């Protein structure tokens, strides 16, 4: 055989997920059902699901079944960093949304989003505060306006999880994201927002967010105070 059977089973499930036949939270067919339907042994189905579980695409619940994972996208920098100067304690945060408006996309952002210049966009700026109400991060997001019409209106409440609104109100599924992490110095603008000196070190996260069919729907830049974020890991 050119391809292992378990790869075919894995691809069968991935296809169902990527085409929307299975959406996050869905129960997939049981291992026995898949085994019968695809004409392979249950061990082969298990191996395929093992891999998908390991890749976080699926999760199993004994006695209930196997489900399609929800993507846990938000908290941006917190995917990499834990708040707190090496102490590693998990802290509480909340976000506010001081700015949101419809804009005609400037050339540079339209190029990133792969749309013609001046395409209507929604600009959303959010600030994250720690438990002492000190600002520690600034998120700047650009969305394709046609996908999230009306989100720029102040009466639309934006919870801490921005993607929750996007999913529920606009039916736009966030499928995946690409992130690039680096560091930079605070601009005048950001230093004001974060109550730090201009030039102070920041950690920077660039994110491209994709919906179905690899459609690029958002570009986001998050700046966080370097003295408040650190990433800890172990190598063995």
**Which stretches of the chain bind DNA, using CB under 7 A?**
1, 4-7, 28, 30-33, 39-44, 46-47, 60-66
Distance (Å) of CA 8 to CA 22, 41, 47, 156, 183: 17, 13, 11, 44, 41
Nearest approach in angstroms of CB 183 to a copy of itself is: 4
Nearest approach in angstroms of CB 15 to DNA is: 17
What span, in angstroms and rounded, lies between the C-alpha atoms of 116 and 167? 25
Residue 69 or residue 119: which is nearer to a copy of itself going by CB? 69
Q: Both tokens of residue 4?
A: 């292992």
Q: Residue 79, interface with a copy of itself (CB under 8 A)?
A: yes
What span, in angstroms and rounded, lies between the C-alpha atoms of 1 and 192? 62
* Of 207, 178, 203, the residue nearest 190 (C-alpha): 203
Out of 5, 42, 184, 221, name the contact with a copy of itself by CB under 8 A. Answer: 184
Q: Residue 54, interface with a copy of itself (CB under 8 A)?
A: yes
Nearest approach in angstroms of CB 158 to DNA is: 31
Q: Which residues contact 194 (CB under 8 A, 6 or more apart)?
A: 135, 136, 137, 138, 186, 200, 202, 223, 225
User: What residue 95 binds from DNA, a copy of itself, none (CB within 5 to 8 A, per partner kind)?
Assistant: none
User: What residue 79 binds from a copy of itself, DNA, none (CB within 5 to 8 A, per partner kind)?
Assistant: a copy of itself
Residue 8 or residue 200: which is nearer to DNA going by CB? 8
Out of 10, 57, 100, 126, name the contact with a copy of itself by CB under 8 A. Answer: 57
Q: Both tokens of residue 53?
A: 């579980």
Partners of 12 in beta bridges: none
């Amino acid at each position: 055989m050119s391809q292992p059977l378990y790869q075919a089973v894995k691809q069968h499930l991935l296809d169902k997920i990527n085409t929307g036949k299975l959406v996050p939270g869905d129960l997939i067919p049981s291992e026995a059902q898949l085994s019968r339907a695809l004409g392979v042994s249950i061990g082969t189905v298990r191996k395929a699901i093992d891999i998908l579980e390991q890749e976080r695409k699926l999760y199993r619940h004994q006695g209930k079944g196997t489900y399609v994972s929800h993507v846990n996208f938000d908290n941006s920098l917190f995917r990499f960093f834990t708040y707190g100067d090496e102490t590693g304690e998990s802290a509480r945060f909340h976000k506010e949304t001081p700015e949101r408006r419809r804009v005609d996309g400037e050339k540079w952002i339209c190029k990133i989003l792969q749309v013609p210049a001046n395409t209507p966009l929604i600009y959303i700026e959010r600030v994250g505060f720690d438990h002492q109400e000190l600002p520690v991060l600034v998120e700047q997001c650009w969305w394709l306006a046609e996908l999230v019409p009306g989100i720029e209106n102040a009466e639309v409440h934006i919870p801490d999880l921005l993607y929750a609104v996007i999913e529920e109100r606009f039916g736009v599924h966030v499928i995946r994201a690409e992130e690039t992490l680096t560091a930079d110095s605070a601009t005048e603008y950001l230093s004001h927002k974060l109550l730090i000196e201009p030039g102070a070190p920041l950690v920077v996260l660039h994110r491209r967010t994709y919906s179905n069919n690899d459609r690029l729907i958002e570009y986001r830049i998050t700046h966080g105070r370097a003295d408040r974020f650190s990433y800890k890991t172990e190598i063995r």
